[in-house]
Chain A
Amino acid sequence: MIKSATNTTAITLSFIRWEFLKTLFSFQNYIAVFVSLCVAWLMVNGMINTVAQNGLIIEANPFILPFLATLLPYAVFLALAVAVSLAREIENRTFEVLFFAPIRFSSFVLGRFLGQLTYYLLALPLVLVFFIGYANSVNLRVGPGFLGAIVLSPFTVASVVGFGFLIAAYLRKTRITVVVLLALILLLLGVQFAHVLLPTLQPAEADTTLLVLTDVVDVMYRVVEWISPFAYLTKGVDAAQFGAPELYARVVLASLAYTILTLALSVWVLREKGISR
């Protein structure tokens, strides 16, 4: 029993070690971080230009949106990467070969998942150094909302990766997995953005379509706020901004529970559907 557990841990750790080293020595990852930071830099620069044109701006968190612009593509990329690699392994039957060895589904899922997470955990210090250094050079404030987002972001990325894993484990075909996963992520993000954006639109004339759309989005959001990992991130940022540590801790725990649930479901689905194509 103990030997089996030690074996499982060793396999999981070897998965993580392999992914970690691959990430650390791959120059493309540094380029990916640089490109995503360029987007953030452009956004902050745009804001500074607005100060110049407008005379002043009032902002609580100048770095939240740029940070989300960095985080979201990264999280989606990692979810897609993990989903595609799993679906491809099932399609190419390398998954079957892998399980000729005494490997448990749980150590496979956990190893792959934590390996993907190291991508983000390695990128995060680079992102943090850029934002703090840049904020200091242009005299922008790094507020508690931003720091809250930074701390919460690995949990969000973990949830997104877990979500991607679950979709791939269920659908098992690369093309369908990519299409469904992208469509779901876009839908979840779209509903969330629309939920924030639509009530702020005030058309000059009564617009029934807009009113109906707002109602529909409101109803959809009630579901999305539970199933979208990004919804937990915005709740956490709000909690950090407001200075509610209890609420923030609850959001972190909810993200963690979400990740555990999606991974457990992935293991269950893989076990139920078996290793063959």
Chain B
Amino acid sequence: MKRRCFMVCYLLVFLFVGVSPTMAETPTLEQQLVYALEVYDGVGYTSNFAPANEETIYLLADHSNAFSPRNTMVYYWAITRSYKADWDELNEPVESATLEILQGQTLIQELPPTLFSIVLPEGHGSRKSYLLWGADAERGYPGFLEEFREYYIQIRDYQNAYQEYQTAYDEYQDAMLDETIVEKPNAPVRPVEPPPFLKVVIPPSFGFQVNLPEGDYRIRLKDLDGQIIPDSEKKIVVFSHRRTGIGYKIIPESRWTVPERSDDPQQTIYVMGGSNAAIYLQPFYEAEYNEAYYRGLLDTQDHSGAADRWAWAHMEPFYQATMTMSSENSTGELEMTGEKPFFVVQMPGPRLGYQVVEYDPATMGGQRPTFVGFEVGLERDDRKVTIGLVDQDGVVVEGSEREIRWVPEKRPVIQYLWLSFPLLVGLIVFVLRRSRTKRS
């Protein structure tokens, strides 16, 4: 009995002791000097941080980046296999006098801490952002608050005006229904709602403005006494794009929800001959970077990129261009197409299917276009068409050209001739040799 009691107690202790640490397990925090980073990614600024174990920071050449050294608590998060900063626990700027940038053993720059601020002109939903430095940053945030206050005044005025409009409209409706009033009043004018205020400016803080040409560098912090701050040294790899170009999001009419992408200008778009559908193309800027460097730029702890591979990074949509099309059958004249809005109409009834039609604001008022793009009809006699973009000045946009090729619907018989070509040659050689041997 005693033994059984002991076993039950042991089991309970085992269960609680065994389970509780797992449930209450918290990562171990370690105080570290880290660099909070605002790095330029080709469109805007990406927030990032370099913990103590990451030796290298990647930057794009000839763009300003903000380095903000801070003391914080860092912990390892096994799920993402990366270190995380607990900014709420500790977020203390490192008191440093200068940031030194060295190339080899040569000191090339000594940067003082400068006030900076991030501006998101289209709000948090957009990738676009830029940095303000020094006096601009000092003015930027109060300016933003002032703009925001003005926006609220506009909104308040609009709401008041709208209330007045509602009252006036009710009166107008009453007057229209009142048969005793012979002279009907004019309808009140609906007030225009101010456009949404999307801009965001982050309050300024101190950081170092790092803007370097392509190359390998080292950085380190010096304190107010001129001593190098321990753990502040990092390698900086500054890189540039290998190519820039125009990528296309390609929306086939047959499956508009599953678009394809063409990044490389060498790529060809193959479509089926005899197709009566269309494809819609949406161009965007893109740049090709070393995969390891660019992934390291977006996240200092991302080592998934390979140093011998290149990756296209998608930038902003390319607007205000005209698409040109030239085919073998055309007599040198280019077909020009403009970008148009399109609307997807679902088929009535239970049958799956839809139709992509050109958006008409007159008949589709109240609804927004589903997408905007260049339409390329596939019902053509051509075997090959080359498309490209020209900008507003009529200049061909570099890297925008692509070939569209029509693959024959019915495979030609001649393909078998090409396949059996080695056998035919072998047979001819064999016969020739035989006849020569017989003759000799």
Contact = CB atoms under 8 A, between A and B. Distances in A.
Nearest to A199: B304
A133 interface: yes
Contact of B270 (A59, A145, A242): A59
Interface string A56-71: 1111111000000000
B81 A60 contact: no
B270 A31 contact: no
A34 to B, nearest CB: 5
B415 A134 contact: yes
Given A137-B418, A138-B415, A139-B406, A60 B266 contact: yes
Contacts of B270: 51, 56-59, 62, 140
Contacts of A102: none
B257 to A, nearest CB: 13
A144 B403 CA distance: 14
B411 interface: yes
A141 B422 contact: no
Contacts of A2: none
Given A27-B430, A55-B255, A126-B425, A60 B268 contact: yes
A133 B418 contact: yes
B97 to A, nearest CB: 40
A60 B403 CA distance: 10
B407 A218 contact: no
Contact of A29 (B406, B426, B433): B426
A51 B272 contact: yes
B380 to A, nearest CB: 13
A129 B422 CA distance: 9
Contact of B267 (A52, A59, A218): A59
The DSSP consensus for interface residues of chain A is: helix
Given A58-B260, A145-B266, A139 B405 contact: yes
A39 B393 CA distance: 49
B430 A38 contact: no
A123 B261 CA distance: 37
Contact of B268 (A45, A55, A59, A133): A59
A55 B277 contact: yes
B420 interface: yes
Contacts of B279: 56
B430 A138 contact: no
A198 to B, nearest CB: 10
Contacts of A206: 79-81
B47 to A, nearest CB: 23
B414 interface: yes
Contacts of B383: 139
Contacts of B306: 195, 199, 218
A77 interface: no
Contacts of B430: 25, 27
B275 interface: yes
A199 B66 CA distance: 30
B412 interface: yes
B163 interface: no
Nearest to A231: B308
A24 interface: yes
Contact of B407 (A24, A48, A123): A48
B252 interface: yes
A37 interface: yes
A41 B411 CA distance: 12
A37 B419 contact: yes
Contacts of A30: 422-423, 425-427, 429
A139 B407 contact: yes
B269 interface: yes
Interface in B247-283: 250, 252, 254-255, 260-262, 264, 266-273, 275, 277, 279
A235 B266 CA distance: 17
A45 B429 CA distance: 29
B271 A55 contact: yes
A12 interface: no
A33 interface: yes
A206 B383 CA distance: 46
Nearest to A61: B266
B10 interface: no
Given A57-B270, A139-B407, A143-B268, 14 more contacts: A30-B426, A34-B419, A45-B411, A51-B270, A58-B260, A62-B270, A129-B418, A133-B421, A137-B414, A137-B418, A139-B408, A140-B405, A141-B268, A235-B308
28 contacts: A25-B429, A27-B426, A30-B425, A30-B429, A34-B419, A41-B415, A51-B270, A51-B272, A55-B254, A55-B272, A56-B250, A58-B267, A60-B264, A123-B422, A129-B418, A133-B418, A134-B418, A137-B414, A137-B418, A138-B408, A139-B384, A139-B405, A139-B408, A143-B266, A195-B306, A206-B79, A206-B80, A235-B308
Question: 8 closest Cβ contacts across the A-B interface?
Answer: A30-B426, A133-B418, A33-B422, A126-B422, A60-B266, A55-B252, A60-B267, A134-B418
Interface of B: 79-81, 242-243, 250, 252, 254-255, 260-262, 264, 266-273, 275, 277, 279, 304-306, 308, 383-384, 403, 405-409, 411-412, 414-415, 417-423, 425-427, 429-430, 433
